[in-house]
Amino acid sequence: MSVFLSWLILIISVLMAIGIMRIIHILKDIELFFTGDKRRK
């Protein structure tokens, strides 16, 4: 049971890390879209 829990925690932490990276990437894209495009146009 403890092995299963440790694997579960590992998987959850990896998924959370991937989710955080995606959120940061999306926020950077939105920021570039708002600042860069408005300044260019």
The pLDDT tens digits for 2-16 are 999 999 999 999 999
pLDDT tops 80 at residue 38: no
Q: Between 40 and 23, name the one with better pLDDT.
A: 23
Buried b or exposed e, range 7-20, using 16+ CB within 10 angstroms: eeeeeeeeeeeeee
Question: In the block, which residue shows the tokens 């403890």?
Answer: 2
Calculate mean pLDDT across residues 19-37: 90
Q: Which tokens hold the place of 14? A: 């990896």
The pTM is what?
0.59
